[in-house]
Structure 1
């Protein structure tokens, strides 16, 4: 059985993480993902607030997943007087799901958020992404809102 470990992303991970980001968010180009990942790893900032990318990897070093975590000044359903840890993105290769990798990444993200003074963790997912919803619930998240956003070009 392969052992999986979690650590904060290294600069040398940026290409592998960007490739996973492209699978998670296919509407953004690989080049844009590489730029965003590289900036976050180097700066430790997501916009004006702290952020990090945590990675899971096999003993040999091959990345198996990532979780991008950041601070937000507020999140739906959370105490509005406290910053909150927010899961910006969470990905494990499909063939490796169900092995505890996502759980390990989430626990590391929760520790990161606690270290930054957070008492709550928030996340979101697409309304039709049932697998993600089940994974969140399995790790203790509760649904606080359901929303469909609209836009109209003028």
Structure 2
């Protein structure tokens, strides 16, 4: 297993893995966000995991958040923006390796907490978070009202 920090939007596998995790986004939107991350290296961290003969197996993206993050006690928090392991590579420890890399980055940034979120109905993501050592802190339902 090899973890490689993303340094280009053309990083082998990064876009494809993002599209697998967030299929509602079109490639141009993904690339614009990826470029934003690359343009702000002090705030964002992203890796692609490669297995065997350089096959992209998973990726992780994290950010530093200075605003309030639900369920945390500190003000600069590392936040797991996305974590995905391709189906054929799951349950092989890749998610654990990716999270360990994020934690090392977060420590270097003087963070004491790593936060994340999952949709209420995404039980698979919730189970993955628990398996990776996350503790559920709260459940939230967001509302809005359009102002005419």
Partner secondary structure for residue 11 of structure 1: coil
Flag structure 2 segments of 5+ consecutive residues without an equivalent: none
Q: 2:73 matched to 1:79?
A: yes
Structure 1 equivalent of residue 32 of structure 2: 35
Q: Deviations over 1:50-83 (max 9, x none)?
A: 1111111124222111110110113112114x31
Q: 2:137 matched to 1:144?
A: yes
Q: Is the 8 A contact 2:47 2:59 kept in 1?
A: yes
> Judging changes above 3 Å, is the alpha-carbon distance between structure 1 residues 12 and 146 closer, same or farther for their aligned structure 2 residues?
closer
Q: Is the 8 A contact 2:9 2:34 kept in 1?
A: no
Q: 2:44 matched to 1:51?
A: yes
Structure 2 equivalent of residue 26 of structure 1: 23
Q: 2:107 matched to 1:114?
A: yes
Q: Is the 8 A contact 2:49 2:59 kept in 1?
A: yes
Matched residue count? 146
> Judging changes above 3 Å, is the alpha-carbon distance between structure 1 residues 38 and 16 closer, same or farther for their aligned structure 2 residues?
farther
Q: Is the 8 A contact 1:14 1:38 kept in 2?
A: no
Partners of 2:6 and 2:56 lie apart in 1 by 10
Q: CA deviation at 1:12?
A: 6.0
Partner secondary structure for residue 13 of structure 2: helix
Q: Judge which range, 8-17 or 84-93, deviates more.
A: 8-17
Cα RMSD after superposing both structures: 1.8
Q: CA deviation at 1:133?
A: 0.8
Q: Judge which range, 139-148 or 10-19, deviates more.
A: 10-19
Q: CA deviation at 1:34?
A: 1.4
